[in-house]
Amino acid sequence: MTRPSFNPFHHPDNPPRSALQAHAGPDGDIAGEAARVEVVERVDRVDQPWGHEEVFAVFEGRYVGKVLHVDAGKTLSLESHPSKDGTIAVLSGRVTVKVGADPARLRTLTLDAGDRLVIRANVVHRLAALTDAHVLEASAVRSGLMHNVVRNDHQKGRAGT
């Protein structure tokens, strides 16, 4: 059975448009900050073994924002990030997150819709979906470190960094 895809950012019937059009007032004037934006872009979708992610914000050297769409019963890799702090927030569904300094001694936290968790650099963590879940992820990264990850174990060929 195919279930409808959840996307908090756009509807397939809404084509990309100029941000100048998006922010123009009734008389066509462009207000302040909106004039600096040139084009509204589509959110990047990346398929994963556990579901998929949508990268909605990338500011190289500052932050990355994603929505993780995790299928019930699926688990992400056990990983850490040497130079990246992040926050996850459950938008819908229920997940567990195993966290700790030592991969052999992790504690398990259960997060429901509306819960958030800060994950500091070097903290080992793994997210698993108890139900279909949509999880917001925001992380601060230094320039060139968008893919700053150390996987302690992996799924479907995703070993190493």
- Chain center to CA of 43: 11
Instruction: Select from 19, 34, 138 the least CA-distant residue to 89.
Output: 138
Contact predicate 68/126, CB 8 Å: no
**How do the domains of the chain map onto residue ranges?**
14-42, 49-151
pLDDT in tens, 2-48: 444 444 544 444 444 444 444 455 555 555 555 566 778 899 999 99
Task: Indicate whether 61 pLDDT > 70.
Answer: yes
49-151 in CATH: which number?
A: 2.60.120.10
pLDDT score for 126 = 97
pLDDT in tens, 117-147: 999 999 999 999 999 999 999 998 765 544 5
pLDDT in tens, 81-115: 888 899 999 999 999 999 999 999 999 999 999 99
